[in-house]
């Protein structure tokens, strides 16, 4: 039946081609396939989006497209107690791999001690992910216009609750002073690279950009972080990104370092690195008081 619907056809045409079967059962299967989105109705919103996906992703289908769309809107666990139990259970079930790889039969050579003096080594050695910040205010939500090196205001009134939703319910990031969402404009990449393997380049570029962001923030004496736990559809809807020609890939953020703290990998009062601090029950702190949200495109 699915093979029969490789082009737009009517129910009457389907029943005529399957005349040896009970028509009621054929209609029931068609309805079931439609509910499961195996079949789409012509002119429907889903059909229009499917056509858009096929048009934009054609150079990278099926492999890259399947990977990309199957990973969207992943549900992430952010509850400290649940995560801690999972990690303990995983440790009991399977010993963690060695943190280093060695080749016993290979000839080895000792290397000189790395330089730790100077500004650049200091920045590299101080690079950390922070999960607690001071409350210095920054305002608005902006788009970074790379060609003009400026910011374009997109919207006002984004709350810390929304930041938490955007970043996989990770409460420890919702009070950062700034959050940068990285998106990819696919036609730019596809114009130059028409092969499926170019899909990986999007994430490599995002990683390069993110690490530079975090190193610069460290150099400025700030507290950076990054995460790929994203609520794709929510972000795209709130900022008018279609998610097909321009998907969101990565997030990085920064805040002022808490006073008297050399590093805060855990929220205040936490007993584990991914635990949550007490949340704002109302989620009413706006970006005008806490967080600047930016969209960076490449």
On whether residue 72 sits in a domain, the answer given is no
Same domain, 33 and 173: no
Both 165 and 276 in one domain: the answer is yes
User: What's residue 225's pLDDT?
Assistant: 94
Same domain, 18 and 125: no
Whether residues 161 and 262 share a domain: the answer is: yes
Q: pLDDT tens digit string along 260-291?
A: 888 888 776 665 443 333 333 333 333 333 44
Residue with tokens 């100077």: 118
Buried b (16+ CB within 10 A) or exposed e, 220-257: eebbbbbbbbbbbeebbebbebebbbbbbbbbbbbbbb
Tokens found for residue 56: 């934009």
List C-alpha distances in Å: 195 to 67, 171, 202, 209: 15, 39, 13, 23
Q: For residue 183, which of 228, 243, 247, 235 has the smallest C-alpha distance?
A: 247
- Regarding whether 128 and 35 lie in a shared domain, the answer is no
Q: What is the pLDDT of residues 146-157, one digit of tens each?
A: 788 887 877 777
Same domain, 133 and 263: yes
Residue 90 lies in a domain: no
pLDDT, tens digit, 9 for 90 and up, residues 181-240: 999 999 988 888 888 888 999 999 999 999 999 999 999 888 999 999 999 999 999 988
**What is the structure's pLDDT at 181?**
93
In a domain, 30, yes or no: yes
Asked if residue 293 belongs to a domain, the reply is yes
Report whether pLDDT(133) > 60: yes
Instruction: Note whether residue 50 is domain-resident.
Output: no
Question: Is position 47 within any domain?
Answer: no
Structural domain including 234 reads 119-297
Alpha helices in 94-148, H assignment, sequence order: 119-126
Query: For the residues 51-71, what does the mean pLDDT come to?
Result: 89
Domain of residue 151, CATH code = 3.40.109.10
pLDDT in tens, 13-45: 998 888 888 888 988 999 999 998 889 999 998
Whether residue 58 is contained in a domain is answered as no
Residue 69 has pLDDT above 70, yes or no: yes
149 vs 243, more confident: 243
Q: Using alpha carbons only, what angle is made at residue 42 by residues 39 and 43, rounded to the nearest 5 degrees?
A: 130
**Residue 279, pLDDT score:** 36
Number of domains in the chain: 2
The DSSP code for 172 is G
Q: How many residues does the chain have?
A: 298
296 band by pLDDT with thresholds 50, 70 and 90: low
| Sign for the pseudo-dihedral over CA of 202, 205, 211, 213 | negative
Q: What is the pLDDT of residue 267?
A: 72
CA distance 68 to 158: 27
Give the confidence band of 171 by pLDDT, cuts at 50, 70, 90. confident
Let me know whether 290 and 174 are in one domain. Answer: yes
Burial of 156 (0-12, 13-18, 19+ CB in 10 A): exposed
Alpha-carbon distances of 291 from 139, 143, 162, 258, 262, rounded to whole Å: 6, 14, 11, 15, 22
68 lies in a domain?
Answer: no
pLDDT digits (tens, 9 = 90+) for 91-119: 899 888 888 788 888 888 888 888 888 88
Q: How confident is the model at residue 298 (pLDDT cuts 50, 70, 90)?
A: low
Quick check: helix, strand or coil at residue 249?
Answer: strand
Long-range residue pairs from 185-188, CB within 8 A, at least 24 positions apart, any chain: 185/245, 185/246, 185/297, 185/298, 186/56, 186/57, 186/245, 186/246, 186/247, 187/56, 187/245, 188/298
Q: 70-74, 171-175, 274-278: lowest mean pLDDT where?
A: 274-278
Give the ranges where the chain is alpha helix by DSSP (H): 11-17, 23-35, 45-57, 63-70, 80-93, 119-126, 160-166, 186-192, 198-219, 232-239
Residue 17, number of CB atoms within 10 A of its CB: 13
């Amino acid at each position: 039946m699915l093979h029969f619907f490789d082009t737009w056809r009517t129910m009457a045409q389907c029943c005529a081609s399957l005349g040896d079967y009970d028509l009621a059962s054929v209609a029931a299967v068609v309805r079931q396939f439609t509910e499961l989105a195996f079949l789409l109705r012509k002119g429907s919103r889903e059909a229009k989006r499917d056509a858009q996906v096929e048009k934009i992703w054609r150079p990278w289908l099926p492999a890259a497209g399947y990977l990309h769309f199957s990973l969207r809107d992943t549900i992430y666990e952010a509850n400290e107690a649940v995560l801690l139990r999972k990690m303990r259970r995983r440790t009991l079930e399977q010993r963690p791999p060695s943190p280093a790889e060695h080749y016993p039969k290979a000839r080895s050579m000792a290397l000189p001690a790395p330089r730790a003096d100077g500004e650049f080594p200091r920045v590299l050695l101080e690079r950390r992910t922070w999960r607690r910040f001071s409350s210095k205010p920054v305002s608005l939500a902006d788009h970074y216009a790379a060609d003009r090196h400026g910011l374009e205001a997109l919207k006002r009134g984004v709350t810390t609750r929304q930041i938490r939703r955007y970043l996989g319910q990770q409460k420890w990031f919702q009070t950062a002073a700034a959050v940068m969402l990285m998106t990819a404009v696919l036609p730019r990449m596809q114009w130059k690279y028409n092969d499926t393997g170019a899909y990986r380049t999007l994430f490599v570029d995002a990683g390069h950009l993110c690490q530079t962001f975090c190193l610069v923030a460290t150099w400025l004496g700030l507290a950076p972080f990054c995460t790929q736990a994203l609520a794709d559809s929510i972000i795209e809807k709130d900022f008018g990104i279609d998610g097909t020609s321009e998907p969101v890939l990565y997030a990085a953020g920064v805040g002022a370092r808490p006073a008297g703290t050399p590093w805060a990998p855990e929220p205040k009062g936490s007993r584990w690195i991914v635990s949550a601090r007490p949340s704002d029950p109302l989620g009413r702190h706006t970006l005008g008081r806490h967080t600047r949200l930016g969209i960076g495109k490449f």
